[in-house]
Structure 1
Amino acid sequence: MTDRIEHPTMDLLYSEQEEFLRETVRDVLNKTCDWTSVLALTESESPIDRALWRTLASEVGASALALPEDIGGAGASWRETAVVLEELGRSVAPVPYLGSSVIATVYAQQTGADELLAGLATGETIAALAVPAGAPWFRPAHHTVTVAGSTMTGTVATVADASAADMLIVPVDDDTYLVDPAAAGVRFTPVVSLDETRPLVDIEFDAAPAQRVDGAHPAGAATEAALRAGTALLASEQLGLAEHCLSATVEYLGVRRQFGRLLGSYQAPKHRLADLWVQINQARAAARYAADCLAAGSEDLAVAVAVAHSWCSEVAVHAAEEYVQLHGGIGFTWEHPAHLYLKRAKSAMLLFGGPDVHRTHLAGLIDLPLPTLETI
């Protein structure tokens, strides 16, 4: 008889501190990030809300949550960061939080870029990791960038959150370089993106000044860690988005009448929303588990990330589609927020590789045989 192995109990419920943080962030967003403001920004030359970013970073301290106190951080964890992302997803907030406070921050931690970390902690520096937005963490895309002396030449396509960045982090082979986006020889070309609240750009370097970072870990490992963390916490943003779509639709069906009856009294929409409610609760479990594994440095992190991205991506898109359809004709208009949520959900699904890519990766992680032509 083998001895039973005891595992520590994992608590995925929200703590009192996490709920307080949620209330604080939601209050800020309710006051400063209504959907009409978001829509107006998407139609402007600069879709990023820098005033909201400064409020979240300096007043709420959201940019410093997962960083240690000795460098100006809050000494919390990635679980708290996930709560912030849930609220940002509810409001489709146009701020580079995922790119700067998660992906760039993890990369800077991995490479020992302490000076950059200090700026990221206060939110005074917005940084972006110059890798293609669709690259999964376990298969980072290659780009054509070379360094000669202290200058960089080459291109990186479809980089997310770079248009708002004060500093670009560029991995080249096993080295890391910092590039000022305002420096001579750096050019951004906007990419037509489905989701204008998270703009994409192509970056071209033409003998641009580049500062090498002497770090403890090679750039390849740091890139994987950063993109893995970004994928894990993107699921929380998708969860928040899906929850908003459900609650807004339930509220609408509770007041909209057709043929003398409330739309919410018909069985068909009730069943559709009940199914969506179940899926969102499953998504919450997957997103919380991924955030907890990231915070704890769990060995199950890779599996948790694959499950969370695969499931939460599809649930967010489904919720946004129901949001549009069950609002009827008004849901199809530009003057209603539903399209903002649908575009964010669809574009987020394609970040870091789509669900199929992550399900295939998950199969390898858990030794699940992939189907062949003979088994189909």
Structure 2
Amino acid sequence: MTDLLYSEVEEELRASVRSLLDDRVDLSRLEGPEPVDLKLWRTLAADLGFAGLPVPESAGGAGASWRETAVVMEELGRSLAPVPFLGTSVLATAALLGTEDPLLDALAAGRRTATLAVPLSATDPRWTVTAADGVLDGTITSVVDAGTADVLLVPTAAGLFAVEAADTVRTPVVSFDLSRPLTDVTLGSAPGRLVGDAGPLVARALTAGAALLASEQLGIAEWCLTTTVEYVKTRRQFARQVGSYQAIKHRLADLWVSVTQARAVARYAADCLATDDPDLPVAASLAQAFCSPVAMKAAEECVQLHGGIGFTWEHPAHLYLKRARSNAASFGSATRHRALLAALVDLPA
């Protein structure tokens, strides 16, 4: 029977990650020329070993599971920490697990960073790059964490290749979400090392991405709900606390119910991924179909119920709204996942 509750180890992990992120995350850097905080990433990945949570100890990892990785994703969503965790510790790691590729050890130890070179909106493997005798040509748009990656895992019809990022041309994209930069990657006769068959490896990575992104969406929703409840308790209008008005109570109560349901859905997806449950494709699509709209709703309510300050650039609410909107289009929209889910459970069109 699936246990959706957090274990004692997972709660201790959460406390450790939250303490670090509360102390180190500075969202004002998002407006600067280098929004990604590589110093914080080195602390998370190398010093604390969080990059290799799902990697077996025999491969240089922590020997934990994807459940613990999901807890870290929740806290990264709560803080909007601008670190390349999604690309390196989720997408690239999921693609390499089980391949015995030497790059996996370097990723788990935090010595190198990598990402899967597919558009962030991708839901299935697509080959836009050609490979001939280990030389790759082509362009991939909107790749997450490619700007700071050391290695790019590039899918082609001939297989999945590891390409040194320095051998490619990377062009930053003006992204809606400042906290998660995207990059266009051009491979002009770039040499690559064959990792394995691209089809199953990329499919596994994208499924893991969709499943664990739900945990990040949960973290966003929880931050928005908690911050909004705290605000309406102190904000006064017409000689009353805003939160004392029945309409506000109802909106926040409905949101609390949705966030609680999203937690169960996200936890189930993470557990299916951790245990290699055959229900994983259903759990991942269900997680995106449900958690994506909840995160959006929570962020919208956060902006609105904060009143005038919620619509200003100085308040971080707009950053959470942008991340929620960006995530809603990542690894397929909620509409796309509902269609996938219908096919998986044999529902008629």
Same fold (TM over 0.5): yes
Name 1:327's counterpart in structure 2.
306
Match of 1:211 in 2: 193
Q: What letter is aligned with 2:261?
A: Q
Which whole-Å CA distance do the structure 2 matches of 1:211 and 1:141 have between them?
A: 19
Q: Residues 88 and 113 of structure 2 are in contact (CA less than 8 Å); yes or no, is this contact kept in structure 1?
A: yes
List aligned pairs for 1:69-148, cutoff 5 A: 69-113=57-101, 115-136=102-123, 139-143=124-128, 145-148=129-132
Q: Which residue of 2 aligns with 1:246?
A: 225
Conserved 8 A contact 2:218-2:291: yes
Larger radius of gyration: 1
Q: Provide the residue aligned with 1:290 in structure 2.
A: 269
2:347 aligns with 368
1:357 alignment partner AA: R
What is the aligned partner in structure 1 of residue 151 from structure 2? 167
State the identity as a percent.
57
Q: Aligned with 2:70: secondary structure? A: helix
1:272 aligned partner = 251
Within 1, Cα distance between the matches of 2:315 and 2:114? 32
Residues 309 and 315 of structure 2 are in contact (CA less than 8 Å); yes or no, is this contact kept in structure 1? yes
Mind listing any 5+ residue stretches in structure 2 that lack a counterpart?
none
Unaligned runs of 5+ in 1: 1-8, 371-376
CA deviations over 1:103-145 (Å, ceiling 9, x no partner): 10011124432x1001111111110111111111xx32331x1
- Residue 45 of structure 1 corresponds to 33
Mapping 1:179-258, distance limit 5 Å: 179-183=163-167, 186-213=168-195, 215=196, 218-258=197-237
Q: In the alignment, residue 46 of structure 2 is paired with which amino acid?
A: S
Aligned to 1:6: none
Aligned pair partner of 2:20 in 11, 15, 28: 28
Mapped to 2, the partners of 1:298 and 1:151 lie a distance apart of 37
Structure 1 residue 301: Cα displacement: 0.7
Deviates more, 1:192-201 or 1:228-237: 192-201
Is 1:358 the counterpart of 2:337? The answer is yes
Distance 1:92 1:310 in 2: 22
Cα distance in 1 for residues equivalent to 2:134 and 2:292? 40
The whole-number CA distance in structure 1 between the counterparts of 2:99 and 2:246 is: 55
The CA distance in 2 between the partners of 1:366 and 1:152, in whole Å, is 38
The answer as to whether partners of 2:217 and 2:295 remain within 8 angstroms in 1 is yes
TM-score by length of 1: 0.91
1:26-84, Cα deviation, whole Å (9 max, x unpaired): 00001001xxx22x322122211101101111232111111111122111110000000
Distance 1:243 1:253, change over 3 A: same
Residue 336 (structure 1) aligned to one of 311, 315, 322: 315
> Contact 1:191–1:202 at 8 Å: present in 2 too?
yes
Q: Would you say the 8 A contact 1:313–1:355 is kept in 2? A: yes
**2:10 and 2:71 in contact (8 A); partners too:** yes
Tell me by how many angstroms 1:148 deviates: 2.9
Note if contact 2:127-2:157 (Cα within 8 Å) is conserved in structure 1.
no
In structure 2, distance between residues paired with 1:356 and 1:57: 34
One-letter code aligned to 1:196: L
CA RMSD in angstroms comes to: 1.1
Q: Tell me, in whole angstroms, the C-alpha distance in 1 between the residues paired with 2:98 and 2:331.
A: 19
Q: Give 4+ residue runs of structure 1 displaced > 4 Å after superposition.
A: none
Structure 1 residues 317-361: Cα deviation after superposition (integer angstroms, max 9, x where no partner): 000000000000000000000011000000001001100000001
Query: Does 2:300 align with 1:300?
Result: no
The alignment partner of 2:188 has SS state of strand
1:61 aligns to 2:56 (yes or no): no
Partner Cα separation in structure 1 for residue 212 and residue 63 of structure 2: 18
Match of 2:162 among 155, 178, 188: 178
Query: Equivalents in 1 of 2:83, 2:215: separation in Å?
Result: 15
1:262 pairs with one of 241, 247, 256: 241
User: Greater CA deviation, 288-297 or 166-175?
Assistant: 166-175
Separation (CA, whole Å) in 1 of partners of 2:212 and 2:21: 19
On the 8 A contact 2:41/2:83 being kept in 1, the answer is: yes
Mapped partners of 1:230, 1:206: distance in 2: 28
Out of 13, 36, 44, the residue aligned to residue 5 of structure 2 is 13
Q: Give aligned pairs, total.
A: 349
TM-score normalised by the chain length of structure 2: 0.98
